[in-house]
Structure 1
Amino acid sequence: MTTPVLICDDSALARKQMARSLPASLNAEVTFAQHGKEAMDILQSQQFTIMFLDLTMPEMDGYQTLQALRDAGIDMPVIVVSADVQPEAQKRVMGLGAKGFIRKPIDKPQLVELLKTLVVEPESDLDTVVQTVVTPKLKRRDIYMEVANVAIGRAADAMARHFDVFVHLPLPNVNLFEVSELHMTMRHLVSNDAMSGVCQGFSGEGIAGEALVLLSDSSVSQLANLLNYPESQEFDNELELLMDISNIMVGSFLQGIGEQAAVRFFQSHPVLLGQHVPIESLIEKTSGNWRKTMTFEVSYAIENTEIKCDLLLMFVDESLPLLDNKLSYLMEDH
């Protein structure tokens, strides 16, 4: 007897990893959805024993999907599988009716224990043999998008815990840029407001690059007020704030990538590129450093504020073959 399973995630790699993490004894018949809207359409004509649901997706995210399931009266166990590991995110999904939460990358023993309570009797023998599921062949971009997604979640969690806020996770954006394209992206990210920018170098096992953290003046002042940074004539509290944010965001993002690539990254001390300056001034400071780069582009927003913080993590072109090799296991079929 087969077990109908619905996996909803916008990442091709995440869908594949989820399907292949299912124990063979579940005998799963898997259906995939790329976002919540597609999942709800599928549920109009099919029934499933269990659903696995990502949170950060286009069209309809995981929170909206859980609410839609509740509104439609669909009584089906849902396990959220997400890179957004903020305590508040977990609290919210459980409040919306999710029966479990698993952080990405998937912890298979945790998955098996959840399945024992939700799908089969506890005494049943659920082994952890890989489930045979046919999935589409992955592209290089699929790999890097999901790697970025996990790293985004780690950085958001670090910010949420440090600053006691809830951070809305963006969809990742990964591109191979010429330097002129990178500068166009920087211009696109910012408003007409004056900006402050911090640069931080990183390296590990021959893989190197730089990270840029960009905040508008309005975001810096709101963040300083939110965090109750004391006013002082002796210290530049805004500068201290910028350095703190850069260290937290860049460090946790690199840790998220490093966990997946088995690389320990080291960061240099953050360097101020400029405070209260036009974006063109910050672009000038980066013009001589790059020819081509693979860039992870992330825009974080803090709930109930207008604060937006942009992170650009750029790997030098020469590092890409090494990083590809470190992540090659994600391309494998088993």
Structure 2
Amino acid sequence: MASSVLICDDSALARKQMARSLPASLNADISFAMHGLDALEQLKNKRFDILFLDLTMPELDGFGTLEEIQKQGIDINVVVVSGDIQPKAQERVMALGAKAFIRKPIDQDALKAVLKQLVPTQINRNVVYAPAQSVHLPTLRRRDVYMEVANVAIGRAADALARHFDVFVHLPLPNVNIFEVSELHMALRDLASNDQVSGVCQGFSGEGIAGEALVLLSDSSVSDLKKIMKVPSASDELEELELIMDVSNILVGSFLSGLGEQVGARFFQSAPALLGQHVSIDSVINSTAGSFNKTITFEVSYTIDRTSIRCDLLFMFVDESLPLLDNKLSYLFEEL
């Protein structure tokens, strides 16, 4: 008997990887959705046994999709598969009715254990554990690979930040772009949104891949961070700078760790350089002048629940790193 499966993820690579990870014994009849609204529309028109659901998506994210499934009384086993692995995110999806949570990249043993719990008669059949093949898989682009790799890495950074401050971090979709230096400076101005900012710049390298990480915090964000950490509002400038450095080290280190897992490289960080406190964005731009001609960038803006905290994280890889990154991710490019 076939199991009807819906895979909902905005990433074409993630949809393809999920489909190929399903065992042949499941005899899966697979459909795809690109976001929550798409999934809900399909759930209205067809009964599915399992929904594999991402959290960070446009239109309607995974949390909103779970809420609608509950509200509409849709009977389906939901398995969340996400790079957003922070504890409060996992607690929230389970409270909304998800049957299980699997972190990205997908671990075959974890997936098999979940399927044994949800569809034991299918998975326990004496069939070789091999990927399902009878489905038309999504066509991938090169950018799909980088978007999914960035998604996993920024999820690791959000998790580290959430655990350190005991908060829930809202995790938007990352932006992945290849910029000329003039375009990079325009992007930096857009990040700052005309606010005064505090910034930390930190170099990194590993396996020939190199670049700069930039962490920007608005002045209002620093004030709220002090409240979370119970730092007196009248604290001196040194304490504020230490707090900013702490946030930067958490985000940069955990992002590079998440990236390193996927590219098979260990990254080393240089000592962080304070760009100053309450400086204009032009000072930040001047600090990058001459560093890059062209760069691939991963960018995300984290916000913390019930605060005004916004932290912009930008990773800039020098242009020479691009072919090296491609080579390290060749196992994913083979999916193209």
Same fold (TM over 0.5): yes
User: Does the Cα contact within 8 Å between 2:15 and 2:138 map onto a contact in 1?
Assistant: no
Letter aligned with residue 333 of structure 2: M
The residue aligned with 2:319 is: 317
Asked if 1 retains the 8 angstrom alpha-carbon contact of 2:25 and 2:125, the reply is no
Residues 111-149 of structure 1: per-residue CA shift (max 9 Å, x gap): 111111112337544643122133133111000000000
Partner of 1:228, secondary structure, is coil
Deviates more, 1:206-215 or 1:132-141: 132-141
Q: Secondary structure at the match of 1:236?
A: helix
Contact 1:215 1:309 in 2 (8 A): yes
Tell me the equivalent position of 1:290.
Answer: 292
What runs of 5+ residues in structure 1 fail to find an aligned partner? Answer: none
1:128 alignment partner AA:
Y
Equivalent residues in 2 for 1:1-334, closer than 5 Å: 1-121=1-121, 123-125=124-126, 127-132=128-133, 133-229=135-231, 236-333=238-335
Q: Deviating runs (4+, > 6 A) in structure 1? A: 231-235
Q: CA deviation at 1:105?
A: 0.3
- Cα-to-partner distance string for 1:22-81 (whole Å, 9 max, x where unaligned): 001111111000000000111111111111000000000001000111111111100000
Cα separation, partners in 2 of 1:321 and 1:237, compared to 1, 3 Å: same
Structure 2 letter corresponding to 1:111: L
Which stretch shifts more, 178-187 or 132-141?
Answer: 132-141
For the 8 Å contact 1:116–1:126, the answer to whether it is kept is no
Contact conserved, 2:226 with 2:233, CA < 8 A, in 1?
no
Checking the alignment, whether the CA contact within 8 Å between 1:82 and 1:104 is kept in structure 2 is: yes
Compared CA separation, residues 233 and 221, structure 1 to 2 (3 A): closer
Letter in 1 for 2:139: K
Deviation at 1:280, TM superposition (A): 1.3
When residues 152 and 126 of structure 1 are mapped into structure 2, their CA distance, relative to the original with a 3 A threshold, is farther
Q: Distance in 1 between matches of 2:137 and 2:306?
A: 40
Mapped to 2, the partners of 1:284 and 1:277 lie a distance apart of 12
1:284-314 CA-to-partner distances (Å, cap 9, x unmatched) read 1112211100000110000000100001101
Q: Supply the distance in 1 between the matched residues of 2:229 and 2:201 (Cα, whole angstroms).
A: 22
Give the aligned CA root-mean-square deviation in angstroms: 1.6
Contact map agreement 1:112 1:126 (CA 8 A) in 2: no
Partner Cα distance (1:333, 1:180) in 2 = 33
Q: Structure 1 residue 232: deviation in Å?
A: 8.3
Identify which range, 133-142 or 320-329, moves more after superposition. Answer: 133-142
Structure 1 residues 57 and 234, CA gap change in structure 2 (3 angstroms)? closer
User: For the structure 1 residues 55 and 272, does the alpha-carbon distance in structure 2 shift closer, same or farther, using more than 3 Å as the test?
Assistant: same
Distance 2:66 2:127 in 1: 27
Over the matched positions of the two proteins, sequence identity in percent amounts to 66
Unaligned runs of 5+ residues in structure 2 are none
Q: TM-score, normalised by structure 2?
A: 0.96
TM-score (normalised: structure 1): 0.96
**Deviation at 1:230?**
5.1
Q: For each residue in 1:256-283, what CA deviation from the matched residue of structure 2 results, as whole angstroms up to 9, or x when unmatched?
A: 1110000100001110112101111211
Query: What is the CA-CA distance between 1:231 and the residue it aligns to?
Result: 7.0
In 1, Cα distance between equivalents of 2:84 and 2:141: 24
Aligned mates of 2:88, 2:43 — CA distance in 1: 28
Q: Take 1:199 and 1:316, find their aligned partners in 2: how far apart are those partners?
A: 15
Partner secondary structure for residue 283 of structure 1: helix
When residues 125 and 319 of structure 1 are mapped into structure 2, their CA distance, relative to the original with a 3 A threshold, is same
